């Protein structure tokens, strides 16, 4: 523990420190150091690793907590659905501000402005006014109208 570390009971703030576990924090010994440095909660991201690896991380947290003599919380971040675009007619597809796109059923687009996705219920679940984010959120589209088998959107870039 570095000389500058403050004992846990003497921190001047009620702020909690959450540390996401990764390769650099593997093993109970490293977790003990992190607890002594002030970590209150360890986050396990279920989008990575196997169930067995996550079980080991939890066991390491419990062991480190006991060794440090300090209770710590565990935050398990459950992975959401992986919704991906279907096959495009060409890549990349440019999405200019104001350009119209349609989500249609199926696995392959038939025109550059038609999009499909790996989540079959998407069209049924979207409503006029809903936002749809693409490309890790760099493209935002708003549902302008919908029919039974398609949804029309106008594309715009975030911040535009």
- Does residue 157 have a pLDDT over 50? no
Average pLDDT over residues 78-90: 83
Domains of the chain by residue range: 8-77, 100-157
CATH of 100-157, one of 2.40.33.10, 3.40.50.720, 3.40.1210.10, 3.40.640.10: 2.40.33.10
- Reported for 20-27, long-range contacts at CB under 8 A and 24+ positions apart, including other chains, are 20/45, 21/45, 21/57, 21/61, 26/60, 27/60
Q: What percent of the chain has pLDDT over 70?
A: 87
Q: What is the pTM of this model?
A: 0.56
User: Which one-letter DSSP state was computed for residue 108?
Assistant: B
């Amino acid at each position: 523990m570095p000389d500058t570390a403050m004992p846990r009971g003497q921190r001047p703030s009620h702020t909690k420190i959450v540390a996401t576990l990764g390769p650099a924090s593997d093993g109970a010994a490293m977790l003990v150091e992190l607890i002594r440095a002030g970590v209150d909660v360890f986050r396990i991201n279920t989008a990575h690793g196997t169930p067995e690896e996550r079980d080991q991380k939890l066991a390491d947290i419990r062991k480190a907590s006991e060794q440090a003599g300090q209770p710590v919380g565990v935050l398990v971040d459950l992975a959401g659905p992986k919704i991906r675009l279907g096959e495009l007619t060409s890549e990349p597809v440019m999405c200019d501000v104001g350009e119209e796109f349609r989500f249609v059923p199926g696995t392959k687009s038939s025109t550059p402005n038609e999009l499909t996705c790996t989540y079959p219920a998407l069209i049924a679940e979207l409503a006029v006014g809903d936002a749809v984010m693409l490309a890790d959120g760099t493209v935002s589209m708003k549902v302008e109208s919908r029919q039974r088998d398609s949804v029309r959107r106008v594309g715009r870039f975030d911040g535009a």
